[in-house]
């Protein structure tokens, strides 16, 4: 029988990790936010939610800090992020324990998330010497035309429960080297990991003689986030979460001509072509669909398999799903931890019921597990559902481990099915046919922000720009040139000719 950690054991781990990171939860005690653990479903600490006046004060303090930080040389800003990355490395086990306790991720995935923070700090340190602007040839003699990138201001970061630390770090590390300051509203489901990260960044700032209030945390739910969204002193709101949240946040920021960077839901698919290496494809699909208990924005939710290999693929996947170790994410050997709460479980059950009503058949999984040992937690066996067509439920994101399998006859049909959903985050094709792979990557191929070949949909590296199209919101974060969203561009023309020369040959001399 698989044992589940006792709530007291989880609380003790959390207290130890918080203490090592410099956080005393008693200092945040109060009403409004309850830190829980999905490992047992039990509450851990009651914390005080920040009200509107505190949101305003945090934004004012961040703006004040920005006025100093924006003129601090970028490589000096990079030195702070370097120190922060070193502290993250030192505390990687503590932070991973908090991620497991609050988000339910297995040890290896929790450590992977902390590694993403460390990696993006490395990236940002390098970036601090590479915030390049272009010089363009001027059409006028004796003139120079160029662009300069300047810090933008306070960046409001709103993050989701399922990447409780990495998403903030993608934003914060890049924003800080760009000369911005940060006010962070983490998910109300993961307040403790946020407090720990913020304490480490405060320590790095103090050791680096940086101004105070470069990064602040606001605890609370949607109302706290909404106050941040509406603040005129926040020129950029970077919001990660459901498409529902993005539909509320995007127009509010636009109404005051702010910028928003939206990282919303996904309904990701992979195509398995007849030429695919099926061992590789099935292994990759199992992780992409069942890893993080199906609670990644990039989780594989639809598998589009050529009709010649679909039975073989579903047999292999069914066998794999049936033996996946589901259980306590703190235990070695577990691969699938709990769902975050009962509502996620109810959504999964409802989706599977609707899929069956729409003609689907459940080939494996879908059952609740370990309810006798942890009646308030929600452990499930990932579900594999064969569908006759891309029905309504298949076109929606259900944030739980349900993998729908569809079959196709030719490549054009595969792409049509692939693109035939509202979201556009991550995609993949498994094939040994080079031409087919290129067609999937081409302008009329997959319509997502992330398009992979012989790789599943989840598990992106920080070096690329991360984000997606359509109902995923269009934002890009992390690597490549995503930094530009955190800065303002000034176009500069310098006249050293000693006379007035108007552009486009305009003559105003009379
Ligand atoms: P959620 O939308 O319930 O909450 C996300 C965050 O938004 C929370 O901090 C929440 O308090 C805040 N929020 C909600 N309504 C708000 C409002 N009106 N104004 C301001 N803030 C508001 O999402 P969740 O359940 O925490 O996370 C799961 C969802 O996030 C999934 O849809 C998943 O695909 C998506 N997600 C996307 C990415 C990405 O990079 N594209 C990454 C992780 C998660």
Tokens of 273: 């072509």
330, 100 Cβ separation under 8 angstroms: yes
- What is the pLDDT at residue 254? 98
Kindly state the average pLDDT of the residues 129-137.
98
Active site residue 113: no
Which residues have a Cβ under 8 Å from the Cβ of 499 and sit 6 or more positions away? 142
Task: Classify the complex by whether its ipTM is higher than 0.95, answering yes or no.
Answer: yes
Task: State yes or no: pLDDT of 1 exceeds 80.
Answer: no
pLDDT surpasses 80 at 2: no
Model confidence pLDDT, tens digit, residues 294-353 = 999 999 999 999 999 999 999 999 999 999 999 999 999 999 999 999 999 999 999 999
Write down the pLDDT at residue 510. 84
How many CB atoms lie under 10 A from the CB of residue 501? 15
State whether the beta carbon of 266 lies less than 6 angstroms from ligand 1. Answer: yes
- pLDDT for position 33: 98
DSSP string, 369-381: E-TTT-TTS-EEP
Ligand 1 binding pocket includes 400 (Cβ within 6 Å):
no
Q: Give the tens place of pLDDT for each residue, 169-208.
A: 999 999 999 999 999 999 999 999 999 999 999 999 999 9
Q: Give 73's pLDDT tier (boundaries 50, 70, 90).
A: very high
Do you know the residue count of the chain? 510
Residue nearest to atom 13 of ligand 1 (CA): 222
Confidence of residue 494 (pLDDT cuts 50, 70, 90): very high
Ligand 1 contacts CB of residue 169 (under 6 A): no
> For residue 313, how many other CB atoms are within 10 A of its CB?
21
Mean pLDDT of the 444-452 span? 98
Read off the pLDDT of residues 136-179 as tens digits, 9 standing for 90 and up.
999 999 999 999 999 999 999 999 999 999 999 999 999 999 99
Residues 6+ apart with CB under 8 A from 291: 109, 299, 335, 336, 458, 459
CA-only gyration radius of the chain, Å: 24
CA 141 and chain centroid, separation = 48
In the predicted structure, residue 127 carries a pLDDT above the cut 50 = yes
Give residue 135 CA to ligand 1 midpoint distance, Å: 39
Query: Measuring CA to CA, which residue among 424, 416, 425, 366 is closest to residue 389?
Result: 416
CA pair distance 173, 357, nearest whole angstrom? 47
Q: In this model, does residue 42 exceed pLDDT 60?
A: yes
Q: Do 490 and 332 meet the contact criterion of CB atoms below 8 Å apart?
A: no
How far apart (Å, rounded) are the C-alpha atoms in residues 235 and 298? 28
């Amino acid at each position: 029988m698989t044992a589940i950690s006792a709530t007291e054991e989880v609380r003790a781990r959390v207290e130890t990790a918080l203490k090592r990171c410099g956080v005393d939860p008693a200092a945040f005690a109060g009403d409004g936010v309850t830190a829980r653990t999905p490992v047992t479903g039990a509450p851990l600490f009651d914390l005080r939610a920040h009200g509107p006046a505190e949101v305003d004060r945090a934004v004012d303090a961040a703006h004040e800090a920005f006025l100093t930080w924006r003129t601090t040389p970028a490589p000096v800003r990079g030195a702070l992020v370097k120190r922060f990355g070193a502290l993250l490395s030192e505390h990687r086990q503590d932070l991973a324990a908090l991620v497991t306790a609050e988000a339910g991720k297995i040890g290896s995935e929790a450590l992977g998330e902390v590694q993403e923070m460390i990696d993006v700090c490395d990236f940002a340190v390098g970036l601090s010497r590479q915030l390049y602007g272009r010089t363009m040839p001027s059409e006028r003699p004796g003139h120079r035309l160029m662009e300069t990138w300047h810090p933008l201001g306070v960046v409001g970061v709103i993050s989701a429960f399922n990447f409780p630390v990495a998403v903030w770090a993608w934003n914060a590390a890049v924003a800080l080297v760009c000369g911005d300051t940060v006010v962070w509203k983490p998910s109300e489901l993961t307040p403790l990991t946020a407090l720990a990260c913020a304490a480490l960044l405060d320590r790095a700032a103090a050791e680096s003689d940086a101004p105070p209030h470069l990064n602040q945390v606001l605890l609370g739910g949607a109302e706290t986030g909404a106050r941040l969204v509406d603040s005129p002193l926040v020129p950029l709101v970077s919001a990660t979460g459901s498409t529902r949240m993005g539909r509320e946040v995007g127009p509010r920021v636009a109404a005051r001509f702010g910028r928003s960077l939206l990282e919303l839901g996904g309904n990701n698919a992979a195509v398995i072509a007849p030429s695919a290496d099926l061992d590789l494809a099935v292994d990759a699909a199992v992780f992409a669909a069942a890893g993080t208990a199906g609670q990644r924005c990039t989780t594989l939710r639809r598998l589009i398999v050529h009709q010649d290999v679909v039975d073989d693929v579903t047999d292999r996947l069914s066998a794999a799903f049936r033996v996946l170790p589901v259980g306590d994410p703190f235990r070695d050997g577990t691969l699938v931890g709990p769902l975050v709460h009962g509502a996620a479980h109810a959504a999964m059950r409802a989706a599977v019921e609707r899929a069956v009503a729409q003609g689907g058949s459940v080939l494996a999984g879908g059952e609740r597990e370990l309810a006798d040992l942890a009646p308030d937690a929600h452990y499930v066996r990932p579900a594999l559902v064969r569908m006759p067509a891309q029905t309504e439920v298949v076109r929606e994101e259900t944030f739980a481990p349900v993998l729908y399998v569809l079959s196709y006859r030719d490549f054009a049909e595969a792409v049509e099915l692939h693109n035939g959903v509202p979201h556009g985050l991550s995609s993949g094709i498994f094939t040994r046919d080079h031409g087919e792979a290129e067609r999937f990557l081409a302008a009329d191929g997959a319509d997502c922000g992330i398009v992979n070949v012989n790789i599943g949909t989840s598990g992106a590296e920080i070096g690329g720009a991360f984000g997606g199209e359509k109902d995923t919101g269009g934002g890009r974060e992390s690597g490549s040139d995503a930094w530009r969203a955190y800065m303002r561009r000034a176009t500069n023309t310098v006249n050293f000719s000693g006379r007035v020369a108007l552009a486009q040959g305009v003559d105003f001399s009379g």
